Structure 1
Amino acid sequence: MAAEAAAGRAAGTTAAGRPADGLMPHLLPEDVEVAEAFADPPHAELFPQEAEAVARAVDKRRREYTTVRMCARTALGRLGIPPVPILRGPKGEPRWPAGIVGSMTHCDGYRAAAVARDDRVASLGVDAEPNQPLPDGVLETVTRPEERPHLARLAAAHPATCWDRLLFSAKESVYKTWFPLTGRWLGFEECVVVPDPDDGTFTATLTVPGPRVAGREITRFTGRWRTWNGLVATAIAVTG
């Protein structure tokens, strides 16, 4: 699948194969391989099983589905994993090859995938969104009451970042990290996210019992965030 190389070239790559610029690679440790794309290559291909899964989808859905899987196979290739279908599990989660953890995201003008070996990273969650305010009425759905005053203070002090959208993205990354460890749903109200505007990090404190990793219960996830080129991205990597 020659088109997969476009995912690495989209933002330029270093000699080691890591993107020299871009959005998501800055947020994850070296044990994680990331590939991202800012357009949909016209000749990207799907495996037959994948094509069947989106056969009735609208064109936009098919394109983002195809490109994000191109990114995933590019990132997997950097771990020495040959191209394989990446299908969805019963709850919509991506099904990765044995021994691999990963996460995918897409929004208008951006697709990305992050993968790692499970003996180095226990779980991953990544999300990207437009750096634009949430639609009317959504903030109350995705936030807890104690989060909203902090968002208002951040918006007043740092208006270039849409903090409501960043919080939404962080909770998406939390869920994508949580689900592979638990196999259970996590509601927006079941964690409290606090972004730090100075060092590009956020904490997500769970309000429900957390998963156990390497014999310890996780009660809080720590992630990183970045705004770049009209986008906001968040990422979490849980190491053992």
Structure 2
Amino acid sequence: MNLPDALPACCTPLDDHWPLPVALPHSVWLGTHFDPNRLAPDDFQRSRIQAPASIQRSVAKRQAEFLAGRLCARAALLKLDGTDCVPAIGEDRAPIWPAHACGSITHGTGRAAAIVANRQHWRGLGMDLESLLPHERAERLAGEILTPAELQRLAVGLAEQTALAVTLTFSAKESLFKALYPLVLQRFYFEHAEVLEWDMQGRVRMRLLTDLSSEWRHGVELDAQYVVQGEHLLSLVSIAA
């Protein structure tokens, strides 16, 4: 197995401490913190990562988060089974994983992470990292992110949990899309799924509100999980083989 290259100064050492409530067997998770101000002009070349043209034209923050996410993904694949691969960006903007693997890459303010697994264990993985919304912004965005039923449940919940509930709903739906899109190859949006229930221990129950394939139809329910770390929320949807 090839050892990963030395990390650029803009990234902290990769962390493999499982962050979520329920560990996912047969998977590898890696995360890092990144600082766009420490991104050097030759970091992509030295890291053996090809930056797409869209990334090359981007600001330092976008370049640093892309680099950090791909570094996590490559190292996770190496740790999983020795595969030395940097997932490219497909025409649909989704990462292109090796045929035998599935995975997900996410990044937020100063943080990036990737999770990978062999398809014999997991068919789909979707992970999303978000900054917790301030209360007033969460109230403004609720109507755009939440379904009518979710808005009703929000209205009878605790006011101090509004920001968490809206952030979690947004993040869980992003994770759901990342996990399901490679399986159905059909785009769907916030109104096409709902969070039925969640608790403070990190458990989430979701339901599809549209038909995506013969298997993934309106009414199908599945679980997700999340964790709050400081000002960030990390969510994960995992679909077993």
Q: SS state of the match for residue 36, structure 1? A: strand
CA distance in 2, matches of 1:48, 1:128: 22
Question: Quick one: structure 1 residues 48 and 157, their matched pair in 2 at CA, closer, same or farther if it must change by over 3 Å?
Answer: closer
CA distance in 2, matches of 1:32, 1:212: 27
1:36 partner amino acid? G
Contact kept in structure 1, 2:73 and 2:86, CA below 8 Å: no
1:3 partner amino acid? L
Q: Which residue number in structure 2 is paired with residue 14 of structure 1? A: none
Question: Quick one: structure 1 residues 232 and 152, their matched pair in 2 at CA, closer, same or farther if it must change by over 3 Å?
Answer: farther
CA distance in 2, matches of 1:100, 1:9: 24
Question: Quick one: structure 1 residues 195 and 10, their matched pair in 2 at CA, closer, same or farther if it must change by over 3 Å?
Answer: farther
State the TM-score, normalizing by the size of structure 1. 0.83
Q: Would you say 1:169 and 2:164 are equivalent positions? A: no
CA distance in 2, matches of 1:153, 1:200: 20
Q: Which residue number in structure 2 is paired with residue 108 of structure 1? A: 109
Quick check: 164-173 or 82-91, which moved more? 82-91
CA distance in 2, matches of 1:105, 1:225: 14
Q: SS state of the match for residue 152, structure 2? A: helix
Q: Which residue number in structure 2 is paired with residue 15 of structure 1? A: none
Q: Which residue number in structure 1 is paired with residue 238 of structure 2? A: 237
Unaligned runs of 5+ in 1: 12-17
CA distance in 2, matches of 1:196, 1:135: 17
CA distance in 2, matches of 1:117, 1:212: 24
Q: Would you say 1:2 and 2:6 are equivalent positions? A: yes
Q: In percent, how many aligned pairs have the same letter?
A: 24
Question: Quick one: structure 1 residues 132 and 212, their matched pair in 2 at CA, closer, same or farther if it must change by over 3 Å?
Answer: same
Contact kept in structure 2, 1:7 and 1:36, CA below 8 Å: no
Q: SS state of the match for residue 162, structure 1? A: helix
CA distance in 2, matches of 1:7, 1:48: 14
Spell out, residue by residue over 1:17-62, the C-alpha distance to the aligned partner (whole angstroms, 9 max, x if none).
x41x6x35x4541222100112247575354633545111111100
CA distance in 1, matches of 2:120, 2:26: 10
CA distance in 2, matches of 1:39, 1:195: 33
Q: Would you say 1:141 and 2:144 are equivalent positions? A: yes
Q: SS state of the match for residue 172, structure 1? A: helix
Query: Out of 25, 28, 42, which is 1:33 matched to?
Result: 28
CA distance in 1, matches of 2:173, 2:71: 25
Quick check: 41-50 or 220-229, which moved more? 41-50
Contact kept in structure 1, 2:12 and 2:33, CA below 8 Å: no
State the TM-score, normalizing by the size of structure 2. 0.82
Runs (4 or more) in structure 1 with deviation over 6 Å come to none
Contact kept in structure 1, 2:12 and 2:34, CA below 8 Å: no
Contact kept in structure 2, 1:50 and 1:86, CA below 8 Å: no
CA distance in 2, matches of 1:157, 1:56: 41
Question: Displacement, 1:109?
Answer: 2.1
Question: Displacement, 1:144?
Answer: 0.7
CA distance in 2, matches of 1:177, 1:82: 21
Q: SS state of the match for residue 54, structure 1? A: helix
Question: Displacement, 1:194?
Answer: 2.6
Aligned length: 228
Question: Quick one: structure 1 residues 125 and 27, their matched pair in 2 at CA, closer, same or farther if it must change by over 3 Å?
Answer: farther
Alignment root-mean-square deviation, CA: 2.8
CA distance in 2, matches of 1:199, 1:48: 38
Contact kept in structure 2, 1:127 and 1:173, CA below 8 Å: yes
2:32 partner amino acid? A
Q: SS state of the match for residue 130, structure 2? A: strand
Contact kept in structure 2, 1:27 and 1:235, CA below 8 Å: no
Quick check: 80-89 or 171-180, which moved more? 80-89
Q: Structure 2 matches for 1:192-211, cutoff 5 A?
A: 192-211=194-213
Q: Which residue number in structure 2 is paired with residue 81 of structure 1? A: 82
